[in-house]
Amino acid sequence: MTQNSSAEQEFFELSQERVQSRESRTFVRNQWFGLLFCQFCLASCITGAIMGLGYYFLREKPLATQAPLPCLSPACMRVAERLSAVIGPQPCDYFQFICKAEISAKSSGKHKSIIISHNVTGTEEVRSGVVKGGGRRTDSESDSERKSDHSLPDRQTALLEAIKEILESPKRDITRAAQKAQMFYNTCMRSNNTLNESIYNAQTLIQQFGGWPVPVGWKQPELNSTLALLMSKYNTFSFFNVYVGPDQNGSKNYIQIDQPEFQFPIEWNSHTNRSKFNSQSLRPFFSSCRELLTLLDVSFISSTQHCGLYMSLSSTLVTNTSPHSHRLSHNLLYHHITIQELQEMAPAIDWLKCLQAIFHPVPVSKSDIVLLHNLPYIIYMSETISSWRQTHEKINSFPLHSFMIMNLLQTLMPALHNTFMPTMKHFSLAIDNENEVVPGWRHCVLQTVKGFDLLISHLLKDYYVDKEGEKLISDIYNTFKTKVASLNWQNKDTQDFMVNKIKSLTPRLSTNSELFSQLKIDEHFGEVIMSEKLYFSNYLQMLGLQQKMRSRMLTQTEQPYTDVLSIQPIFFGNDIIIPVGMFVSPQFHSSYPRAVNYGMLGTLIAKDLLHLLLPDILSQSESAVLVSECVWSHYLKTQKGTSSLSPSQQQEVWVQYSALQVALLSYNKSLQRNSNDTSVSGLSHTHLFLASFIQASCDSGSYKAYLPFEPSFLVTVLCVNSVHCPRPLTCVDTRSQRQLSTLC
Ligand SMILES: *[C@@H]1O[C@H](CO)[C@@H](O)[C@H](O)[C@H]1NC(C)=O
Ligand SMILES: *[C@@H]1O[C@H](CO)[C@@H](O)[C@H](O)[C@H]1NC(C)=O
Ligand SMILES: *[C@@H]1O[C@H](CO)[C@@H](O)[C@H](O)[C@H]1NC(C)=O
Ligand SMILES: *[C@@H]1O[C@H](CO)[C@@H](O)[C@H](O)[C@H]1NC(C)=O
Ligand SMILES: *[C@@H]1O[C@H](CO)[C@@H](O)[C@H](O)[C@H]1NC(C)=O
Ligand SMILES: *[C@@H]1O[C@H](CO)[C@@H](O)[C@H](O)[C@H]1NC(C)=O
Ligand SMILES: *[C@@H]1O[C@H](CO)[C@@H](O)[C@H](O)[C@H]1NC(C)=O
Ligand SMILES: *[C@@H]1O[C@H](CO)[C@@H](O)[C@H](O)[C@H]1NC(C)=O
């Protein structure tokens, strides 16, 4: 208790040093006090944990002068709530905070643990999880592992929630385009078409493609035309995938042709280098496929045939698909080739016709370069189409057509009546966790994003990123530049190269490009007609919008397309694109104290920049090795253990520690510009910054597996003797404090 009091005393003596005017002080104190009381009441309703803290301040009120005004926005209240679960009444509790407390999340309250204990045995700690196998790419990887115990929602979910908020916000003075997006979302949420309507809609569309093949008297539509129509108008890529993106140097957008995605779990055999479907999933799929066709009035015999052919052709095609890692090691990615050459290698497809349809009205010619990501598959696919066509047409069976119609149905499935749901579950076995019920809003947000990504990026910026956000990017980048220049590089050449490279790059927000001008956006969505009621017809419009976006990207050769759901910076030419999706709470909010924004998003961006720009820093700068070893030696002084760090751990320790330094210096710079900053939970400035850093660091990014201790330990090291930290923060366990005297 006496110890507590002296720490508090010290903390408030520090605050008192900043006192300037007695009058303003009284005023501020009164006002602040009222607000604090409010905050106190509110917060205690949510959790009792803050009580200690509130009490702590109330008791000390005569000293709490010139304290920054508390931030009482709803976003700040949520920060306060989370902090209260993390910190106790003493500032020193930070250092004992453990991210992954193994306490059940239900008893969420205080998760205070006494010591940092982590069994580190060199490489042992390096968990896999960064590398994912599998032959298919999904745009939304499951993030169920990401549940953090301290109620920071994972970043992807937070972003989806932010988009939901925009889509559900009452229509005020929003643009026509935004109204359309909201209308789409609303019909998705309240989609109430009857089963009969759904059946009718699906059947009508299938008829447009020539209907189901029947053995007698059926004329097969031309395959190339069917394929082109499916891809261009219905966003359905049966035999291969087509998208637009930069080449590996990230300097220009190209048409990219890839292996298709299959709706089954795929197994990769690394001995034969072949893929196959997981045989267990085929049986339930087969029966749900038949159920689906029965719903659509296809006879039992025919449905058995269509489903059988569909699955057998899929199983054949899949053999030559391979996971990314294999294609990378065999140089199968980013294969430059002209459309003419492609036509010669894979003649069963009319490539020019298909690509022209997909990118209409952008001209595509035979001499254009496309990038292939699995040439052997494409050749094999072409051979398979030819041979299947020849053998099956003799016996009046049309597997290629059945295959394409089944693919179309898969595309339509999300917009059909919920009787189709159980079937859909099996169809998307490979994507969704079987038992996980996708909440309606999440599904609808994802669907809306597919058609309206461009607009939603724009809206995200309008709603969430203010000047402060852009300032944060430039502050972090400037400090980052200084940091890189000050490193001890192995030789002059490396140093010059790195410093010049970093100087030549400009960080910018993903929406700061020509693509996002209001005019262009209105024009882009101008022809789209959204219905107030009919989700199915809106859904078809959305499929068309995806084509529109693709062709638009192709004309923007100098502009990157950043997925609106992206939360990681990327290179594009001389730019570093910071996705606008990073700027949503809990990592960032315009009402937050800057301490929170810099402590959370600031460190995240700094970390991403370090990973992006200095992928092999350890081999090039001795600073990185020295710093990581210094941090680690501090750890070994407080914890018993003798092990040394693996190179990836060394790297990560350096990255995280440097990110913390960069963000703190940037925050300091921002304070020098304007010393005004608000507070949360009675914490302010550096104190609040560090608390926020610890919170954000618990968000398990993919690299966190390599960090051999709790992120809060970095604060301990940073604050040893450091001018960066307010004095009372150097209250590491007094035993070890004497030992921790060198600065890293
Ligand atoms: C740490 O982990 C190693 C290997 O997993 C194990 O042998 C050792 O007993 C553990 N040490 C402690 C203190 O748990
Ligand atoms: C669907 O919902 C809308 C509004 O919620 C209603 O006007 C319409 O009649 C409903 N349609 C059916 C088929 O229930
Ligand atoms: C749906 O269609 C079937 C057959 O076409 C018909 O018997 C049934 O009455 C229809 N149901 C509704 C609700 O319209
Ligand atoms: C892209 O990078 C590759 C190798 O990294 C290089 O060979 C090629 O010339 C580069 N292309 C451009 C356009 O810079
Ligand atoms: C499969 O690929 C590996 C390298 O990834 C190679 O060493 C091996 O020879 C290949 N096996 C076959 C059967 O081609
Ligand atoms: C598609 O078009 C190409 C090029 O005209 C042609 O060689 C091929 O036979 C067509 N494919 C089918 C299945 O009709
Ligand atoms: C500091 O913040 C307060 C409250 O937000 C504001 O009234 C005041 O003008 C600010 N002062 C400066 C120097 O920005
Ligand atoms: C932070 O800014 C203050 C001036 O406001 C300066 O005196 C101090 O040295 C800075 N701290 C660091 C670590 O740069």
- The predicted-structure confidence for 297-314, as pLDDT tens digits, reads as follows 999 999 999 999 999 999
Closest ligand to 223 CA? 6
* pLDDT exceeds cutoff 60 at 588: yes
SS3 per-residue string spanning 46-77:
HCCCHHHHHHHHHHCCCCCCCCCCECCCHHHH
Compute the distance from residue 446 Cα to the ligand 3 centre, in Å: 32
Neighbouring residues of 358: CB distance < 8 A, sequence distance ≥ 6: 228, 231, 232, 242, 547, 550, 551
Is the Cβ–Cβ distance between 553 and 253 less than 8 Å? yes
Compute the distance from residue 38 Cα to the ligand 7 centre, in Å: 21
**What type of residue is 341?**
E
DSSP conformation letters of 155-196: HHHHHHHHHHHHHHS--SS--HHHHHHHHHHHHHHT----HH
* pLDDT exceeds cutoff 90 at 232: yes
CA dihedral 188, 191, 197, 202 (to 10 degrees): 30
Neighbouring residues of 739: CB distance < 8 A, sequence distance ≥ 6: 637, 638
Q: Label residue 663 by pLDDT band (50, 70, 90).
A: very high
Residue 285 or 607, more confident: 607
- Residue 69 near ligand 7, beta carbon < 6 Å: yes
pLDDT, residue 8, reads: 38
* pLDDT exceeds cutoff 60 at 6: no
Closest ligand to 268 CA? 5
State the burial class of residue 121 (Cβ atoms within 10 Å of its Cβ: 0-12, 13-18, 19+): exposed
Compute the distance from residue 192 Cα to the ligand 2 centre, in Å: 6
Task: Report the chain's mean pLDDT, rounded to a whole number.
Answer: 78
Is the Cβ–Cβ distance between 725 and 661 less than 8 Å? no
Which segment of 101-110, 261-270, 543-552, 683-692 scores lowest on mean pLDDT? Answer: 101-110
pLDDT, residue 35, reads: 40
Phi, psi at 506, each rounded to 5°: -120, 120
- Residue with the smallest CA separation from ligand 5 atom 12 is 272
* pLDDT exceeds cutoff 50 at 147: no
pLDDT, residue 669, reads: 93
Which segment of 3-12, 210-219, 318-327, 560-569 scores lowest on mean pLDDT? Answer: 3-12
Which region holds residue 122: left if phi is over 0, alpha if psi is between -120 and 50, else beta? left
388: which 2 tokens? 């299947």
Residue 421 or 116, more confident: 421
pLDDT, residue 237, reads: 96
DSSP conformation letters of 266-317: EEEETTTTEEEE-HHHHHHHHHHHHHHHHHTT--HHHHHHHHHHHHHHHHHH
- Residue 348 near ligand 6, beta carbon < 6 Å: yes
Tell me the C-alpha distance between 725 and 715, whole Å: 9
* pLDDT exceeds cutoff 80 at 236: yes
Is the Cβ–Cβ distance between 589 and 583 less than 8 Å? no
Tell me the C-alpha distance between 322 and 272, whole Å: 11
pLDDT, residue 187, reads: 93
- Residue 674 near ligand 7, beta carbon < 6 Å: yes
Compute the distance from residue 189 Cα to the ligand 2 centre, in Å: 12
- Residue 639 near ligand 4, beta carbon < 6 Å: no
Q: Which residues pair with 507 in a beta bridge?
A: 576
Closest ligand to 676 CA? 7
Tell me the C-alpha distance between 703 and 717, whole Å: 20
Measured from the Cβ of residue 443, the count of other Cβ atoms closer than 10 Å reads 15
Compute the distance from residue 349 Cα to the ligand 6 centre, in Å: 5
- Residue 633 near ligand 3, beta carbon < 6 Å: no
Which segment of 107-116, 292-301, 424-433, 652-661 scores lowest on mean pLDDT? Answer: 107-116
Max Cα-Cα span within the chain = 98
Q: Give the helix/strand (H/E) hosting 344.
A: helix 339-345
pLDDT, residue 126, reads: 22
Compute the distance from residue 314 Cα to the ligand 6 centre, in Å: 20
pLDDT digits (tens, 9 = 90+) for 92-139: 554 555 554 322 232 222 222 222 222 222 222 222 122 222 222 222
Q: Label residue 20 by pLDDT band (50, 70, 90).
A: very low
**What type of residue is 149?**
D
pLDDT, residue 668, reads: 93
Give the mutation target among 188, 531, 533 for probing the ligand 2 site: most ligand atoms within 8 A of CB: 533
Which segment of 157-166, 516-525, 646-655, 732-741 scores lowest on mean pLDDT? Answer: 732-741
Pairing mode of beta strands 369-372, 253-258: parallel
For residues 715-725, average pLDDT: 72
- Which single residue is written with the structure tokens 């937070």? 158
Give the mutation target among 674, 676, 678 for probing the ligand 7 site: most ligand atoms within 8 A of CB: 676
**Domain boundaries in the chain?**
6-64, 72-98+465-512+567-744, 213-416
- Residue 347 near ligand 6, beta carbon < 6 Å: yes
* pLDDT exceeds cutoff 60 at 387: yes
**DSSP 8-class letter at 680:** B
Tell me the C-alpha distance between 539 and 160, whole Å: 19
- Residue 573 near ligand 4, beta carbon < 6 Å: no
Pairing mode of beta strands 335-338, 369-372: antiparallel
Which segment of 187-191, 341-345, 429-433 scores lowest on mean pLDDT? Answer: 429-433
Q: Label residue 381 by pLDDT band (50, 70, 90).
A: very high
Whether the upstream peptide bond of residue 361 has omega within 30° of 0, thus cis, is yes
- Residue 676 near ligand 7, beta carbon < 6 Å: yes
* pLDDT exceeds cutoff 60 at 732: no
Which segment of 185-189, 634-638, 703-707 scores lowest on mean pLDDT? Answer: 703-707
**DSSP 8-class letter at 96:** G
pLDDT, residue 390, reads: 92
Q: Enumerate residues lining ligand 8, CB below 6 A.
A: 665, 668, 671-672, 723-724
For residues 60-66, average pLDDT: 40
Closest ligand to 640 CA? 1
pLDDT, residue 596, reads: 95
Phi, psi at 552, each rounded to 5°: -65, -40
- Which single residue is written with the structure tokens 């982590």? 118
Phi, psi at 310, each rounded to 5°: -60, -45
State the burial class of residue 647 (Cβ atoms within 10 Å of its Cβ: 0-12, 13-18, 19+): middle
Is the Cβ–Cβ distance between 370 and 254 less than 8 Å? yes
pLDDT, residue 500, reads: 92
CA atoms within a 13 Å half-sphere pointing along the CA-CB vector of 499: 15
Is the Cβ–Cβ distance between 8 and 55 less than 8 Å? no
Q: Label residue 613 by pLDDT band (50, 70, 90).
A: confident
- Residue 741 near ligand 4, beta carbon < 6 Å: no
Q: Is the pTM of this model over 0.85?
A: no
Q: Do domains 72-98+465-512+567-744 and 213-416 have the same CATH topology?
A: no
Is the Cβ–Cβ distance between 359 and 253 less than 8 Å? no
Neighbouring residues of 485: CB distance < 8 A, sequence distance ≥ 6: 499
Closest ligand to 639 CA? 1
pLDDT, residue 466, reads: 87
- Residue with the smallest CA separation from ligand 4 atom 6 is 249
Please report the atom of ligand 6 found closest to the CA of residue 385: 13
Round to the nearest angstrom and report the end-to-end CA distance of the chain. 32
Compute the distance from residue 667 Cα to the ligand 8 centre, in Å: 10
Q: What's the CATH code, domain 72-98+465-512+567-744?
A: 3.40.390.10
Closest ligand to 419 CA? 3
Phi, psi at 256, each rounded to 5°: -120, 135
- Residue 350 near ligand 6, beta carbon < 6 Å: yes
Please report the atom of ligand 6 found closest to the CA of residue 343: 4
- Residue 225 near ligand 6, beta carbon < 6 Å: no
pLDDT digits (tens, 9 = 90+) for 451-493: 999 899 999 999 999 898 999 999 999 999 999 988 888 888 8
Q: At what angle do helices 22-46 and 50-59 cross, to 10 degrees?
A: 160
Q: Label residue 744 by pLDDT band (50, 70, 90).
A: low
Three-state secondary structure call for residue 377: helix
For residues 145-168, average pLDDT: 75
Which segment of 356-360, 494-498, 730-734 scores lowest on mean pLDDT? Answer: 730-734
Domain 213-416 has CATH 1.10.1380.10: yes
**What type of residue is 97?**
F
Measured from the Cβ of residue 207, the count of other Cβ atoms closer than 10 Å reads 10
Is the Cβ–Cβ distance between 361 and 551 less than 8 Å? yes
230: which 2 tokens? 């499916």
